[in-house]
Every structure is written in structure tokens, then in C-alpha cells.
Amino acid sequence: MDKRMILAIVVSMGVLMMWPYFVGKKAGQEQAPAPGDTAAVAEQSKKETVKTEEETRQKAVSADTKIVSEAVAGNMYQMQNDSLLVSVSDAGGSVREVAFKKYSDDTSRMIRFFGPDVESMSAFGLSGSENMKFKVTEITPVSITLRHDDKNGGIEVRYSVSDEKPYIINTTVTTGNQRGIKLRLLSAMSPDKKEMYGLAPEPEKRIKEFVYFANQKAERTELKDFDKSGILTFSGNPVWYGITDPYFLFAVINSADASLSAGKTDKEGIYFADITPAMPEKKYSFEIYAGPKEVNMLKNANPALTDAIYFGWFTFLSVPMLELLKYFYSLIPNYGLAIIFLTLLIRILLFPLQHKSMKSMKRMQELQPHIKKIQEQYKNDKERMNREVMQFMKTHKVNPMGGCFPMLLQLPVFIALYKVLGSAVELYRSPFIFWLKDLSVKDPYYVLPILMGVMMALQQKMTPNPAMDPTQAKMMMLMPIIFTFFMLSLPSGLTLYIMFSTMLGIAQQLYTNRKKAN
């Protein structure tokens, strides 16, 4: 029983350690698509920090030229609503940058899911229009219209936003005569493809995936996978396609009978996704969702977008867990307290099983002298000894695996909560108390992991280990240290869950130890 229990703990920790590399490869890995302000924007745009939404709005509606900055590839113009700040370039008539005004990083800068981080690169626009010079024909605080004239009748592109659908960018492409177009979505990833264990607070260091929804399901491909696979053509007309990280989504909602292809460009670390309408038209209209992966927002834009949220194998646990956290948050608006309430609820649900397990362990401790006598009596016949020991425990109604099962039952809960912390935008940058400013990332001062390790060691001391020899006992006492080491890089919200669960386990163990085993 002891070897099996040790193995179970080791496997549990191994799964926690390796889980980010096997399930979605998302939050446990850092990869740098590197959106943000770089050389594509002039020095004025690079150095300027938007401190308030009002300052940003004043910039967007400047009565002079409406030009925000001089980019390498052209002029930049802005439109915005209460949720989005969208920058459009007259070079190619493309969307160059999208910023989420209600979400900020640890420097209080708005999250930029895309940015002019590569010269001449656009987040979204017409494929092949990169070298076309567009002229702004109309601009308001919430819309921008650009036009390029040529012998083929010219092209007009109009982008607009509204507060009715706060994270939708309406896009209309009008051509002078019937002609085929190809919409291109681009994203960048750092060439070094750096991977780290633990969640990254900065959006540019979180892994991004290419996702498309067709045939009633969402398919995901990491951008780096295109390095090996080349250009892919996807079957079925996509309902939507886009780029996603754990918390935010940029997706084109397909309103035409269009095909989709994606792959790696000739530039290092730059990837594309092209949607091509089947028939040439004079006018094409699309909606772009650019915003958080929050269920109600996604549903409001298009119900199929909700499949952009992915919790992995334990979705059946993660979804109700997130709903419970949101419910507790509605009562007391603090996700740290919501995690504590969730922990308490889970411990209450598991209390009968845990109590039975603890009683079984205590009973085994009392029976240990008799078990040792049997082991001594049949020490030269291992098969007979094991048979007699098992019969003895069966007679006295104790289960040698009783102590392992409740612990293993907790493992899916740990993993499900890990996925919630890494994929639910509701918990992104959610503070708890004092130094814990973001429950989705590690404790910056390692206070919670250390407290958790101390409590686990205390619980280990209190827990009966009837069949362990001194060597096994010493090994088990090392487990809290090893577990603490693993938790240093994991989200502080998960560490809070384990720490509080351990506290409740200590209280339950004290209660059990004071009761005489039946």
C-alpha cells in the first residue's frame, strides 16, 4: 500500500509539472508573438503612454489631420469605442493595431493583441494590397473609410465600431467591378520560440494559436506547427477563423462562401491565414471579433465563437468550476475569496470519503502490530504472507488503498482549476490581497508556496503511516519540499486552493485523530 501511495503522489506531481506540455500547451508555455510598439511606429508613438481613456479619445478625434503617427509603411489613423482602440494604416488600408481599453498589463498599458511590431506588417487587411497607397476619404471617431484608385475600378475599405457590439469591427470591402479578393490575417511569433513553465503575465509572451471553426467544431494549430507543415488548406467553409491566446481572440466571422488556407510567410516568425470568397463580388462584408474570451461577449457576437474557449480534457470540470467562481464573485467581488469558497465546497463534498479514508488509516495504525506478526511468521513465504495480510485486513474491514483514492480524486480538480486560471479572462489580472495582484500568475514573493509546503509537512506529520519503514517515512517527508518547488512557478490562485485545502485537511485530521476508530 505504501509503495502505491508514494507512486500515486509522485505521478500526481509529475502530471502537474508536465501538464502544460500535454494539454493545449498553452499557459504553461511562453512564446513571444511580440505584439506592441516597435520600429513600425515613429518615436512619438513609441514613447507615448496612454494614461487615460479620455486622452486616447482626444487623440483619435483630433480636429487637425486625424493622423496619429507616421509609420514606416504609411500614416496611422485611429477609431474607438468604449472597449476598443483600433489603428488603421493607409498603406494597404489595413488594421495595424488593436488595443483593449478595459484590460491592462502590469505597467497599466492597454493590452495590444496586435501591434506594428514588424515593418510593413498588418494585423488584418487585403492580401496583395501591402504596396497600395490608400487615401482616407472619411473619418469619424468610430469609423474610417479608405480608397485606392486603379485601372480595375479601385478598392474601398471601411472599418467601423460601435458600443452595441463593443468588440466587433465591421469591415466592408467595395470594388469598382466584380473581382476576387483575399482577406489576410497575420500574426508574429518570436523566432526563439521560448518556452517556460508557468503562466506569463505579458500577452506578448503567451502562446498564440490559429483556430478555425467549421463542421460544428473548432480546430487549433499552434503557429509554430506551420514551420513543419507548410501551407494548409482547411476543409469546409469556416464559420470563423482567427488567432487566439489564452484570454483574447481576434476572429473573422465568415459571411461568404469562402475557403481558408494558412501557413508561414517568407519572413521569420510571421504567419498568415487567408480567406478567399468563392465567387468574385463587388461588395464583401465581414465582422471581426477582437476582444476577451468571455462567454457572454462571444455569444453576443456569434454563438459559434464560444468554442474559442478551451479547457482541455477536463472541460466537464472546468466549466462548472468557473461558473461557481463567478457566482461566488458576484456575492463577494474578490476571486481570491471565490477560490477559498470553492475549496470549502469541494472539501465539504469530499468530507465523507476523506473521513472514511482517515479512519481507515488510523485503524490500520492500530492493527499494525498484528500485521507485523503475520509478516514475521511468513517472512520466508512472500505469497503466503501477502495473502494472510490481505485476509486479515479484509476481516477487520480496512482498505489498504483507502488513503490513496481521495488524494487521486483531487488531481482532476487541481488540473481543472489550473486550466481555468490559465484560460478564463475573468481571472486574468484578478487581485487577491496585498502583494497578490494577479491570481493567474505565480506568487512574486513565493509566500503562498512556502506556507503551503509548511502546512503539507504538518499534515504529513499528523497523518498515520502505519506500514512505512523509516526510509519510506523520510522520503514522504521530502514530498512537501518537492511539491513546494513545483508550485513556485504555478498560478498563485492554484497555490491558494491547495494551501487552503491543506488547512482544511489538517482540521479534519485533528478531528479524526481525536476519535477512536470504530
Higher per-residue confidence, 338 vs 4? 338
pLDDT at residue 505, rounded to an integer: 86
Q: Is the pLDDT of residue 371 over 80?
A: no
Alpha-carbon distance of 187 to 371, in angstroms, equals 65
Helix (H) / strand (E) element for 222: namely strand 217-222
Task: Among 116-125, 127-136, 419-428, name the one with the lowest average pLDDT.
Answer: 116-125
Which pLDDT tens digit goes with each residue over 231-257? 777 767 788 888 888 889 989 887 667
Confidence category of residue 70, pLDDT binned at 50, 70, 90 = very low
pLDDT at residue 401, rounded to an integer: 61
Confidence category of residue 460, pLDDT binned at 50, 70, 90 = confident
- Average pLDDT in the 506-518 region? 71
What phi and psi values does residue 20 have, to the nearest 5 degrees? -60, -20
Alpha-carbon distance of 79 to 59, in angstroms, equals 10
Residue in 337, 506, 498 with CA at minimum distance from that of residue 418:
498
DSSP H helical ranges for 242-294: none
DSSP H helical ranges for 304-404: 315-331, 335-377, 382-395
Which pLDDT tens digit goes with each residue over 304-347? 999 998 888 888 889 899 999 999 999 999 999 999 999 999 98
Alpha-carbon distance of 315 to 310, in angstroms, equals 7
DSSP H helical ranges for 23-128: 43-47, 53-60
Higher per-residue confidence, 248 vs 61? 248
153: left (phi over 0), alpha (psi -120 to 50) or beta: left
- Domains of the chain and CATH, by start: 2-24+318-513 (no CATH), 43-308 (2.70.98.90)
- Average pLDDT in the 198-221 region? 74
User: Could you tell me the three cell numbers for 451?
Assistant: 506556507
Confidence category of residue 36, pLDDT binned at 50, 70, 90 = very low
Q: Is residue 277 within 8 Å of 258, Cβ to Cβ?
A: yes
Query: CB within 8 A of 348, min separation 6: which ones?
Result: none
